[in-house]
């Protein structure tokens, strides 16, 4: 299955107290926590692939590089945008950016790999190989 570069996707969030560093255990301040920023960036990559992966396959995240560069308060609206910049075999590399009111608050890359859904789940149920 070939997936072409240039696909884009978005994910949005209005920050709640449950999304803060203090709530997520990644700090002690009431601002958008990096784990939530990461999840939002991944959601944008999944959105970019919607309708481009058949039901027998899915993608899984394998590597993430993220710079969380500015704080975002509770109540603020953030948007993650992902663009598929590289596709080689089943390896998909996205550039991602997260903004609040047009101001960049995070930037990075998310790598996903195309897998056969049933085989992947079967392997997960078998557990790690020894």
Domain ranges for the chain: 8-126
Q: CATH homologous superfamily for 8-126? A: Hotdog Thioesterase (3.10.129.10)
pTM for the whole thing? 0.94
pLDDT at 130: 64
pLDDT in tens, the chain (130 residues): 779 899 999 999 999 999 999 999 999 999 999 999 999 999 999 999 999 999 999 999 999 999 999 999 999 999 999 999 999 989 999 999 999 999 999 999 999 999 999 999 999 888 777 6
Contact 97, 105 (CB under 8 A): no
Residues with Cβ < 8 Å from 73, sequence gap 6 or more? Answer: 15, 30, 31, 32
Task: Give the span between the Cα atoms of 84 and 52, in whole angstroms.
Answer: 12
pLDDT at 127: 78
Q: How many Cβ atoms from other residues are within 10 Å of residue 19's Cβ?
A: 23
Task: Give the span between the Cα atoms of 17 and 101, in whole angstroms.
Answer: 19
């Amino acid at each position: 299955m070939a997936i072409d570069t240039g696909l884009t996707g978005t994910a949005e969030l209005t920050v709640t107290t449950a999304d803060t560093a203090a709530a997520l255990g990644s700090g002690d301040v009431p601002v958008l926590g990096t784990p939530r920023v990461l999840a939002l960036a991944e959601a944008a990559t999944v959105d970019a692939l919607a309708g481009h992966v058949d039901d027998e396959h899915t993608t899984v995240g394998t590597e993430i590089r993220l710079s969380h560069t500015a704080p975002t308060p509770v109540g603020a609206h953030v948007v993650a945008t992902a663009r598929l910049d590289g596709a080689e075999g089943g390896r998909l590399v996205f550039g991602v950016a997260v903004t609040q009111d047009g101001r960049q608050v995070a930037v990075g890359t998310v790598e996903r790999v195309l897998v056969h859904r049933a085989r992947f789940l079967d392997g997960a149920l078998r557990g790690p190989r020894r």
